[in-house]
A and B are shown apart, each in its own frame.
Chain A
Amino acid sequence: MLRVATMNQDLRREREAASFNPELLTHVLDGSPENTRRRREIENLILNDPDFQHEDLNFLTRSQRYEVAVRKSANMVKKMREFGIADPEEIMWFKRIHMVNFVEPVGLNFSMFIPTLLNQGTTAQQEKWLLSSQGLQIIGTYAQTEMGHGTHLRGLETTATYDPETQEFILNSPTVTSIKWWPGGLGKTSNHAIVLAQLITKGKCYGLHAFIVPIREIGTHKPLPGITVGDIGPKFGYDEMDNGYLKMDNYRIPRENMLMKYAQVKPDGTYVKPVSNKLTYGTMVFVRSFLVGEAARSLSKACTIAIRYSAVRHQSEIKPGEPEPQILDFQTQQYKLFPLLATAYAFQFVGAYVKETYHRINEGIGQGDLSELPELHALVAGLKAFTSWTTNAAIEACRMACGGHGYSHCSGLPNIYVTFTPTCTFEGENTVMMLQTARFLMKSYDQVHSGKLVGGMGSYLNDLPTQRIQPRQVAVWPSVVDIDSPDSLTEAYKLRAARLVEIAAKNLQNEVIQRESKEVAWNLTSVDLVRASEAHCHYVAVKLFSEKLLKIQDKSVHAVLRNLCLLYCLYGISQKAGDFLQGSIMTESQITQVNQRIKELLTAIRPDAVALVDAFDFQDVTLGSVLGRYDGNVYENLFEWAKKSPLNKSEVHESYYKYLKPLQSKL
């Protein structure tokens, strides 16, 4: 790619000194050289398009940011047609550059309204709503969560009561907690919503069903009578999104507005049960596996910014009298950033794995094979939680590693953080996700103990009955662990996972015996269960990273990735050393060696750090950061950026005349 000629001297030196060609690593991350080529082609289409204006969102009010996002959404359909972009992957690439923050008020129309219509609507319903929603002539959203309920779906309170006389459903929000809360695009943008409500007909409640509900009048965009709808107010991030509330008072919709591909309500009010009900399972897995990839991307962005800036920034001195070193030369700075860089790479490979696996299994589902879905569902739930928790803390660590300037929006890091952090909560709250994985692990554990083998990522549990892992026994494993071998370290993580799964299972059994209630026992073991799931996910990440190494052809790329993989493994051990010691998986002296080796790896990775973040191949627009610019001209641009702030528009701010001066005179 063509990059600007005047590059910061420090960054130039860093790039010249790299031991490998970052382009080759980019191909690995993209999946193939062809993918890299096509991705860049699409990115450049947008960047070179005069219609594509990129405002700096940091200087806009929330209302302006919303407006910009709506404008871009309105353009997008047209532009994608113009550029001939239809492949799902290509649409992602397009949206990432076009929307920058990947947050769009009409996003739920495409990601939820249309898919739900396709999955759960009858042919007649699809005919009625599909075309116009695809062309954004009606804008739909998906209203599920309520003020009082999120994760626990069965607790939703909105009701849809069938009235056979008029053949209508009467929708109600019976309590304040039943008000729909959070759906994206609901506040200001959408005029239709798919509402999840408890279906009541002939006096009986049949549980949650989906209804298409018109909420705003066509032509005026005013809320329809019986509908109270609005924006839920300011948030940590997602300024572009009008997350909304919706309250319905005896609001009537025709019978045909219930999505009836599966369950049905006959005109007389008779309820017809659905045949099968495993529909949303697949979508949930898809969304969560996508989020694992987003964790990798967000962390990669944060690392890019922090590492480039640390190569440009000079401060203090290591030796008295010498010129100020790049802050990346301080061991503490390396220790803050390089393990996160290694984690970013680990998560890139985890993300690629879950995506591939999803597509593979999804093809199987198409042919009626559901056998692999439960494991993937359980694995992806845990991995979503594991990667998003880690990434959440890591982005913030990158921000703090940039000192004071990291606190300014010029760094781009606050924005990356606030945009990413809801991932810990939405699409399944992380603790709940970890407990879902734990449920699968407990089931597998029981299965193994009843003599049946388990497959997949949890197959290590098959070895448990013979291993007899007992914490108090003399060390059995130390001679096995070679701290310079990713495979051997993967084994160590496997032993840790096995041990923590076993401890959780045994504690659960004990509690079950004492409490006489499985559910109470589950709650009283949940801290152990979350630990077990985390260990399982950590093992999976380590395993996938080590396996990825085998597929790397280029020697120099392999060497640098191997160091990152070792750092990822060893850093994790050092952070969780208690587990490895307590399980007699490693000895005290090995832990000391691990800590020593980590420091050697920091030194080894240091010369390649900038090239390693270059390989992520982010456009400057995507990073949205003055500190993380590719050319490294940080200070000049920081000054220019600040001058653009609306507060600097006039030399003497209006508030001086309005407030400062008169107030001064009052004293």
Chain B
Amino acid sequence: MDSPVHRVSLGDTWSRRVHPDMASERFIQSFSVEQLTNILDGGAQNTALRRKVESIIHSDPEFSVKDNYFMTQNERYVAAVQKRFHLQIIAKRLGWSENSPEFYYAYRYSLPGQPQRYQGPCLWWATPAPCPFPHRALSGELALGLHTVFLKSLQSLGSEEQIAKWTPLCNEFRIIASYAQTELGHGTNLRGLETEATYDAATQEFVVHSPTLTATKWWPGDMGRSATHTLVQAQLICSGARQGMHAFIVPIRSLRDHTPLPGVTVGDIGPKMDFDNIDHGFLRLDHVRIPRENMLSRFAQVLPDGTYVKLGTQQTNYFSMVVVRVELLLGEIIPLLQKACVIAIRYSVIRRQSSIRPSDPEAKILDYQTQQQKLLPQLATAYAFHFLASNLLKFLHSSYDAIRNKDFSHLPELHALSAGIKAMTSDLCFQGSELCRRACGGHGYSKLSGLPSLVTRVTASCTYEGDNTVLYLQTARFLVKNYLQTQAIPGSTQKSLPPSVAYLTAPYLARCPAQKAADFLHPKLYTTAWAHVAARLIKYSAHHLETLIRSGVDWAEAWNQTTVIHLQTAKAHCYYISVKSFTETLEKLEDKPAVRQVLKRLCDLYALHGILTNAADFLHDGFLSGAQVDAVRTGYLELLGLVRKDAILLTDAFDFTDPSLNSALGCYDGNVYERLFHWAQKSPTNTQENPAYAKYLRPLLQSWKSKL
């Protein structure tokens, strides 16, 4: 129906004309951009639906985020609250239910497959991530996301009565809820949390208390100023015994006038790198009493007399962590790198600087090899991660029913994959988007480029939902364990291993057979190469650990002394998985040769870039010779030139609208400079009085005037 220009553009004065340097990039289309967009969305019908939702959001001025860069923390928070309620009203009017695909696209990124099928009891943001909601159309500028986290936690941890009591209160916003887990002194190590909930059988109440300064809840979203209730994770103490972490609903602010309730000290934790839209809070509880019924009791209960009763395992709680990490990938982390690529690559065909030959006009900076080397591997990574995350999501869906039926056999593998892949994608998406920012020179430092905000958001994802180092080590533990199992059971076959580590028993290949650069452009060849390196490192990790243990060091200490190696191992494994997942995606595109060809180049680029970055791992045991690494480099440099030709089309295929990019440098039409000038003039520093002039500058300057 619409031409892409109409659909994605900002609709300002400059959108009417596409910059000739941008138009020339789209002149020859070696593949169908629309077809690629459909693949990314998981089907043409999803693309259509997503666009419909985006157009509703973008045509409503209440959802505009264009002034964001000029706002104070306070203003952004207020605007985000406003948008959240406005969305609620719109959704009600249009009949979008919480689990409808429309709602999903308004908030979230595309979910390949059928978005409506998946309705798991996912515990959104089980640990307090700085960001509540993914946000394709709304660029994440919403508040009160933790309200939904509360609801989801209630549904998975609460009894039927509790669910029946609290759900309507939340849905009608008669209470505003949050989720409080991390403390000032503890994040990653949940068992170290200090907040206590002591049962008092005399009054049938829990006394919730922060016994030390470090027990202060710190970082929970929406708690600083908004929430009336929060779900507090605390150590349960009943009948004198500590029973570990449990969740308690604690009212914190008066429903009448919003003042903190007696015994409650609550506030905002102050300025952060980003996420000004969310009021992350602190909370100290001084012997606050709550009724016994406020402990969520699906899995454990405290009887009126103080008897503690366990009602089953919390495996589903553990599963919810996996779900969150997987959904984060496409919901938050990967789109941030994709957007950074779109902005930096579009700007790089508009920006002209110096000339390649002295007689030539100034060249587009994307024509410089050094610029290609910065940006194009990031573009390849953005695609690789998209397919990696989609495939992981499919695996999650396929295991989902089994897990619901209490078959947890897939859980260890799912957990290991989701941990490592979250760590790898957030690491590399952060590095990549920062690289994109710096590749835009001075203008990349301006907030109007949109890039600083992408960087400050994505960098947070390296820490929340599990610190990356800790996550990598969880994956390593899984790898080492599986390897040791293959050793313990001689003759174990690929079948006895989880699919993601089946390569551990693959036939050993001592040398890579490639002879020239072109040989490296074969998915099977480089996937095998990555498998070889990952398997070698896993073995190395395991042997190192065993050697230490044999020398008398206990397991825990031996593990700590070998963690640096395990990190390297987990990284290689995850990279292998991502290469493999990309090649598997290619295999399914036999019927779309043009798209397949352009994606294959990206896949080649991704794999070879990885080999060159980690060349030592391939050279180490002579799997690759020095000459072969040189051949990889030759192939890699040639790929840069080839991908360069399709670079703009490849960024267009992500199908981000201009309003969601919110970048003066990255608009579809390429009219960078006009927009940058216009946007800067709207800055409050230009529309408001200069505060320093009257107070400080005038006195200085006038001492001169008097001498004239």
Contact = CB atoms under 8 A, between A and B. Distances in A.
Q: Do A and B come from one complex?
A: yes
A409 B567 contact: no
Interface in A268-289: none
Contacts of B637: 524, 527
Interface string B609-648: 0001011101111100111011000000100000000000
A132 B699 CA distance: 14
B549 interface: no
A234 B76 CA distance: 14
A91 interface: no
Contact of B619 (A71, A578, A648): A578
A319 B273 CA distance: 35
Given A71-B696, A664-B173, A581 B616 contact: yes
Nearest to B355: A519
| A contact face: mostly helix, strand, loop, or mixed | helix
A88 interface: no
Given A406-B463, A431-B370, A599 B357 contact: no
Interface string A120-143: 000000000000100111110000
A576 B351 CA distance: 33
A136 B82 contact: no
Given A152-B353, A407-B130, A651-B260, A67 B173 contact: no
Interface string A313-327: 111111110001000
A648 B282 CA distance: 11
B74 A527 contact: no
Given A189-B692, A472-B626, A641-B270, A519 B282 contact: no
Contacts of A584: 626
A64 B685 CA distance: 11
Given A71-B696, A320-B556, A648-B268, A236 B627 contact: no
B272 A408 contact: yes
A524 B271 contact: no
Interface in B64-83: 69-70, 72-74, 77-78, 81-82
Contact of B459 (A63, A232, A400, A523): A400
Interface stretch (B338-346, B477-485, B583-591, B675-683): B675-683
Interface string B441-463: 11011111000100110011011
A575 B629 CA distance: 16
Interface in B646-699: 673-674, 676-677, 679-686, 688, 690-693, 695-699
Contacts of B88: 667
Q: Looking at A517, A580, A667, which has the most chain B CB atoms within 10 Å of its CB? A: A667
B85 A666 contact: yes
Interface stretch (B118-126, B213-221, B311-319): B213-221
| B contact face: mostly helix, strand, loop, or mixed | helix
A597 B82 CA distance: 57
Contacts of A396: 434, 459
Interface residues of A, number: 137
Contact of B629 (A74, A181, A331, A582): A582
Contact of A426 (B355, B442, B681): B442
Contacts, number: 370
B3 interface: no
Contacts of A410: 270
A221 B620 contact: no
Given A235-B445, A647-B268, A582 B688 contact: no
Contacts of B257: 652
Given A404-B463, A639-B282, A236 B445 contact: yes
A614 B279 CA distance: 35
Interface in A513-539: 517, 519-520, 523-527, 530
Interface string A402-426: 0110111110001000100110111
B115 interface: no
Q: Looking at B187, B444, B564, B565, which has the most chain A CB atoms within 10 Å of its CB? A: B564
A330 B357 CA distance: 53
Contacts of B455: 236
A30 B684 CA distance: 43
Contact of A138 (B81, B216, B701): B701
B692 A71 contact: yes
A128 to B, nearest CB: 12
Interface stretch (B132-140, B178-186, B294-302, B488-496): B178-186
A319 B557 CA distance: 7
Contacts of B564: 331-332, 335, 595, 598-599
Nearest to B698: A221
Contacts of B374: 431
B677 A147 contact: yes
A645 B279 CA distance: 12
Given A155-B354, A471-B630, A599-B561, A635 B185 contact: yes
B165 interface: no
B463 A656 contact: no
A582 B615 contact: yes
B81 A663 contact: yes
Contacts of B695: 67, 70-71
20 contacts: A64-B691, A67-B696, A70-B696, A219-B701, A231-B680, A234-B446, A236-B452, A316-B192, A332-B469, A335-B563, A407-B273, A407-B460, A409-B272, A418-B452, A421-B445, A472-B626, A527-B373, A582-B629, A582-B630, A667-B173
Given A218-B704, A409-B272, A578-B618, 11 more contacts: A191-B701, A231-B683, A396-B459, A407-B272, A408-B270, A422-B445, A430-B438, A472-B626, A578-B612, A642-B267, A655-B81
* CB-based closest 3 A-B pairs: A578-B615, A577-B616, A137-B704
